[in-house]
Amino acid sequence: MSSVPDRSEVDEEYTWDLESIYASDDDWEAAYESVADRVDELQTYDGRLTDDATMLLEALELRDEIMREVSTVAAYARMRRDEDTTDQQYQALTARAQSLAADAQSAASFIEPELQELTREEFEAMMETEPALTTYDHYVDDVLRMKPHTRSAEVEELLADLSEVTGATGDVYNMLSNADMSFPTVENPEGEAVEITQSNFTNLLKRPDRDFRRRVYEGYFDEWSEMRNTVAAAYKNSVKADVKTAQARNYETAREAALDGPNVPVSVYDTLVETVHDNLDKLHHHAELKREALDVDEVRMWDIYMPLTGDEGPDLEYDQATEYVVDALEPLGEDYQSRVADGLESRWVDVYENEGKQSGAYSGGTYDTQPFILMNYQDDIASMYTLAHELGHSMHSELTKDEQPFVYSSYEIFVAEVASTVNEALLTNHLLETIDDPEFRKHVLNEFLERVRSTLYRQTLFAEFEHEAHRLEEEGEPLTADRLDDLYRGLKSDYYEPAAIDDRIAREWMRIPHFYRAFYVYQYATGISAALAIVDDVLPDGPGSDPNPDAAEDYLAFLRRGSREYPLELLRTAGVDMSTSDPIDRALSTYGRRLEEMDALLE
């Protein structure tokens, strides 16, 4: 019998308040029908969008009105489905909402190509005629910026038609890894059979029995070995599609094409990699601490995920976790802190796991709703950090909505992970400053160190791998399974120099689905770097010191800007210049200091 409760058994106070969006499904239906009837209104502007300033303003405002309504309709359906993914009714509502969103995007698809027929000077003249168009100044600038990489209507239509084909390797990989592959069953120390899955693999590598971890590791990667040539072929063709698509859009490299979307120079990518390489000694120190904590002669790849604490952390009930998180946010000011506290009281969070509930965690909601956070809280420190993380995303959206129109209410991945990680870092500082229990402190430090290891170092390693793989393709070198293994083995050897590198870990690249969305993962590393640098400025004299109100206000100003500017400009608002190595150096210095603290505690 399952210990996971039915949703009806969860107290309402620990569920999110979706009735604040639509009081009933009938109200959702009425909203759906209303906005569906409006989608075709956009077509009346097709072919005459830029005839005059008034026409352009009307079209852009109509698009925003429709997209706002569509996003709310879609969010409600998706979140109802996520409460119980087996519910056929909400599966159907979600499918209808997704179809409506696709129809709306299609109906608006003429807008950006027609905008690109304007010059910058012509648009500025339109703003003179119709001052309300100044709201869209940055948006139009971004559209016009992409004009050199936008092809003729015929070529764009062909590229759009081919996108399903060029992205097919990712679909093939996902079906192979999630549906067709089956991993072995391993006996745990209690004599129970444990099936290895994609979802539980890393958690199994945190179990204290070292021989069990080894058998899990070997069984898992041996299964990947059976698919080695198939996965290599899929990844090779994914890389080839990236390269060919970039060439079709007049880019020199696939990396340049990927980074140009958010307008991030490739030098930012290179600076990240170079700076991390200059600080590999800290990661080596972390590996050495694991060797000492495990009392082994050599760290093996099945030891990497093992906590330095060596055991499970303390139980931490949700209500206590919320108290810690709210208290930790004090350096950001009373308004920020009280809004988080009020949100937690106002059912922003769907807290506990229930039968059929979507796994994981996310921050949702739309421009016209309160935030909504899906959790599967497990009464542990990791869950508390996840809550702090998602509240960071929610507050980013809330502060953006305070000051920005809908067109700037979203933001690029490059900045999205900053707000979430600032909350995590403030939580670490608060707990280490206020809690004396050495065991609790060890678990807090371990949580922080593992998040830096897996986010800053690991994602940078991945970024190096995909850059080199694309470079090899662009230079005409064949991407065979052996070549990819050698490339990954070399990187793993550099990053984990004190540990033993075996043939199985050379295949780890095969298990990373993010590689089928090229040049994406580096943004996790830049995000955590920017966040730790911001916390350094907010608390210039360290945890427990008086916060710097100017730095805190600069950070909040960044959150309020949404996507009103390009990512690097936005982060400069917060006092962080990601075009330099400084934020990365500062983040890695914090990591180094925390390693020293853990070293002292372990002694």
> What positions carry a catalytic annotation?
390
DSSP character string of 350-399: E-S--TTPPPS-EEE--TTS--EEE----SSHHHHHHHHHHHHHHHHHHH
- DSSP code for 348: -
- Cα torsion 68, 74, 76, 77 to 10°: value is 160
The answer to whether the beta carbons of residues 584 and 528 sit under 8 Å apart is: no
Compute the C-alpha angle 528/208/436, nearest 5°: 60
- Of 270, 291, 277, 308, the closest CA to residue 445 belongs to 308
φ, ψ for residue 187 (rounded to 5)? -80, 130
φ, ψ for residue 208 (rounded to 5)? -70, -25
Strands 349-350, 372-374: pairing is parallel
Per the structure block, which two tokens stand in for 560?
A: 């309020």
- Of 269, 279, 274, 175, the closest CA to residue 470 belongs to 269
φ, ψ for residue 156 (rounded to 5)? -60, -40
DSSP character string of 536-589: HHHSTT-TTSPP-HHHHHHHHHHHHTTTSS-HHHHHHHTT--TTSSHHHHHHHH
3-class SS of residue 185: strand
φ, ψ for residue 579 (rounded to 5)? -80, -5
3-state SS of the chain: helix, strand, coil percent to 5?
70, 0, 30
Terminal-residue alpha carbon distance, the chain:
44
450: which residues sit within 8 A by CB, 6+ positions away? 307
- For residue 153, give Cα distances in angstroms to 110, 113, 114: 10, 8, 10
Strands 372-374, 362-364: pairing is antiparallel
Q: CA-CA distance, 52 to 50, in Å (whole number)?
A: 5
Helices then strands, counting H and E runs in the chain, come out as 25, 5
- The full length of the chain comes to 603
Q: CA-CA distance, 453 to 456, in Å (whole number)?
A: 6
- Of 600, 601, 414, the closest CA to residue 524 belongs to 414
Q: CA-CA distance, 354 to 430, in Å (whole number)?
A: 31
